[in-house]
Each structure stands twice: as structure tokens, then as C-alpha cells.
Amino acid sequence: MPDRSKGERGETEKERVDRELIELLNELRVVLPGVQVLFAFLMTVPFSNGFPKMTSLQRDVYFVSFVCATLATLLLIAPTTYHRLLFRQGNKERILQDSNKLVIAGTVFLAPAMAAAVFVITDVLFEAVAGSVVAGLAAGAFVALWYGLPLSRRLNGDRRA
């Protein structure tokens, strides 16, 4: 017998899970183009004319950015494939929980990928000190806005966040 009880939003458990899965997939539609553009850009860098002129530090940080972008892309695309392969298997709640973890893990790798790319570009333009400062500020902003703000709201019990 289907669950007819209504939650705090006035929706059944099935309606809630359906809504939350749609929300997750919509969020992926926002983040995926950005990570894919970054990944594509990073894939072209070694084939550019300036790559041989990069310092050892720039190459090392570039490689960190490339690996992190690869992992972010892998993790952020995984929920779509996961959903497709388990489609109509009757466990949408599990798909939602696992996909949520994959997306969070994907953003954990996306932040350093972006910060490392910021370092390399700023270092090429202005030297390593400026690259370190700008990349550090970018990394701090990612941590503060992507994790700090929502986690502080969560820890303080703000259900409206």
C-alpha cells in the first residue's frame, strides 16, 4: 500500500524523494558545464605553445588541477549514470543518498582544481607570490561559501537554509 501520510511540506514520501532527486539533477545541470569547461581547458594546456615555458612549480600545480578536475568530473557525472542504471529498480531514496555524497565529493575536488588553475594562471601573469595569494583567496572563498556557510547553518539548526 503506498504511503499516504504527508510530511511537513504536505507531500508523501514518494513525492519528497521525487522532488529531491529532481532538485539534485537540476543542481548538476548548473555545475557540470563549469567543470566540463575547466576539464576541457586543462586538457588543451599541454598542447599549447607556452607549455614548454612553464616552470616546474607551474607544471606540478597544473597537474594537481588536472587530476582534481578529472576526479570532480568523474564524481559529478556519476549520479546521472547511477540513476540511469538503477532506473525503476524501486530504491530512489538510496539513489538520492548516494548521489548526494557523490556530488559533495565532486565539489571537494572541484575547489582545489579551480584554485590550482587560478594559481597557475596568476603565476604566469604575475609571479608565484601573487599566484599564491590569489589562489589562497579563491580557495578560502570556495571553502567559506561552499562548505562553511551551509555547514554553519546546519550546525546551528537553521532548517530554512
Please check whether residue 93 lies inside any domain of the structure.
yes
The pLDDT tens digits of the residues spanning 15-72 come to: 898 899 889 989 999 999 999 999 999 999 999 999 999 999 999 999 999 999 999 9
Other Cβ atoms within 10 Å of 66 Cβ, number: 20
Please check whether residue 1 lies inside any domain of the structure.
no
pTM value is 0.85
Where is 60: in which H helix or E strand?
helix 56-85
Please check whether residue 7 lies inside any domain of the structure.
no
Domain tally for the chain?
A: 1
- Whether 20 and 11 have beta carbons less than 8 Å apart is answered as no
Please check whether residue 109 lies inside any domain of the structure.
yes
Residue 98 CB burial class (10 angstroms; 0-12, 13-18, ≥19): middle
The range of the structural domain enclosing residue 27 comes to 13-155
Please check whether residue 68 lies inside any domain of the structure.
yes
The pLDDT tens digits of the residues spanning 85-108 come to: 887 887 888 889 999 999 999 999
Candidates 157, 150, 7, 131; CA nearest to 58 is 131
